[in-house]
Structure 1
Amino acid sequence: MDGDRLRATVVGFLAAAGVLAVLVYTLDVGELSENILRAEPRLLALVVGAILVWLFAWGLALRTVLSVLGEKIRPRVAFLVFNGAMFSNNVTPFGQAGGEPVTALLISQVTDAEYERSLAAIASVDTLNFFPSIGFALFGAAYYATRITLPRQLRFATGVAVLLAVAVPVGGYTAWRYRASLSGFVVGRLTPLVQRVARGLPGVSEPSPESVAQRIEHFFGAIERVATDPKGLALAMSASTLGWFCQMIGLWLAFQALSQPVDFVVIMFAVPMGAVAGATPTPGGSGFIETVLIALLTVLLPVPGATVGAAVILFRAAVFGVPVLIGGLVVSWIGVDVFG
């Protein structure tokens, strides 16, 4: 177990707890607790069901990408592997950026695929998941703008969505076009660091710059195979879109469980924008995602803040807790050390 990584994770959880504590303090704690306790259990079970369908849909997206790369995996195994991926994202800082290397290791152990191919697979799924989310957010904002004058907070959030919709594809295209230069830069800067780490590990040989360059080349090659398979892209994108829709249904049902009907279009905007906060330096974006969701929904909905907070907490408890429970069992069974 890597002590530095473990300490970073502990600090991340403490930071998340601090943010959540401040968030709860700003709301009416008593009313917040009453709302949570009065939630309809049957509808809460449906929230969990929607989250399970989300996980299964994104597991199918991962299965599709792996299939394009020549790795066969059964749907139920893909579901379990994706839960393991979400577990690693939710217990390591910086969300996906911190959990994806562990996820790639998990995939490689389950499928016997090369680590670079596994990393390319989960990176491709993450990229594909971005586009439906921004599409939902922009559609929700556009629809909302036809009904009322957008509040200042919503105009700012919409601007962020538009910026991401432009910056991510442009950044990805630039990185791909100049991948040779990028590879050379990474090899020059990364190889000495990898070699120093390898010296301190028993039974591990120091990689040469040539071997590191070859691994990076394999990674880009796998990305290219996914990007040039229209059928695979369409299937994976469809599964990703279904997954986002299920998340939105989950939050909408959380409000229903509190006997508080809300406009689904608002949910379509809020959920993807909340997910942007997943890149913050807490495990799974905890604390920051809840803050963004509550801030947006309080502005957009004629609903008391304590009710909004209760619905978001119930929703996020399912989004965070279900994959941590299932994925934790998967990671323990396979024997992947998320802190290694």
Structure 2
Amino acid sequence: MPAIHKPLFHRHQWSALLASRSKFGGKMNDIRIGIIGSGGMASRHAQHFSRTDGFELIAIAARNIETGPALANKHGIDYLPTYREILKRDDIDAIAICTYNDTHSEIALAALDANKHVFTEYPAARNIDEAQQLLSRIDHSSRVLRVGHNEVLSPSHRALKRQTAQTGNLITALFTRLTPGRGQRPEILFNISISGPPALFFVYNIYPLVDCFGPATWVEAAAHYENLRDDSTYDSFANSVTVGFENGGIGQWNWAGGIEISDAEEYRRIVMTDGTLINRGDGWHLSTKSSEHDLPAAEPSDVTIQTQFLKDIHNGNWQTDARTAINAALIGLVAERSIEENRRVPLSELLQ
């Protein structure tokens, strides 16, 4: 049996303590959550969930026998060595997945099978089969699947989505980002087998367009990796992805990272029949033949991604966001297939 590190304070075992939770502060209705992972993202989510009213942080599950117990001890909660151990716990209602990209969907599917609500970092999946399995669960699951895309809460994105609904039909959307080789980045990011191609770990650039214009019907992609090694790591990259959207129009993303450039640069344009939306780094603008004006931002909200997850659990209405997150990830996954096979790939070939 694997070792379980217990804090001195065993909150999930003492019935007297549970009674006091109900009597003092109404804590019996808290969602009891466990964190899977113990890196930087897990630490941030552990801090946020522990400070969010409506959640109670119960346990950390992590393979790392140094950072896992340290994070659990910091919060005075249990440490478990594997995610399967945390899914067996009856005193945990929900889990937050903060692991490497290649395990997100595996753990999410197992957690849903274990009747847990799921919060996961993006991307939603690392392979097409597991993405399809997640899509099939959405309409039939009694448990929530929330992927950690903050765009749903962003006033700028909500203003963009509102404007695209009023500006005719999409013609083309263009995104380009160049990033230098200096600076801090996780070494695991430049590892194809674990993190996926750039179109997958930059899925947060894809998500806004899928949210505005719907899923893709076909994907065509190309990539170059500088000094690609046998262990699938590399030093720099270029990745280009083009899609046809189900509702019409074309989207294109271009990324180059780890390259010789002094500062990061980004180009974003959305060309529609009744105007062009432009972002020069200072928010979105609507440009027509006669004028250009700023888009008024949507009303700011004090909702965080953690409180949104809590609202999902209590009120439902999470399914549309989950589909958008999975469909955005599918573009990156099908782009990988397109690169391998050197052809345009219709999603109808892969999705059932």
Taking structure 1 as the reference length, the TM-score comes to 0.23
Structure with more of its chain in helix, by fraction = 1
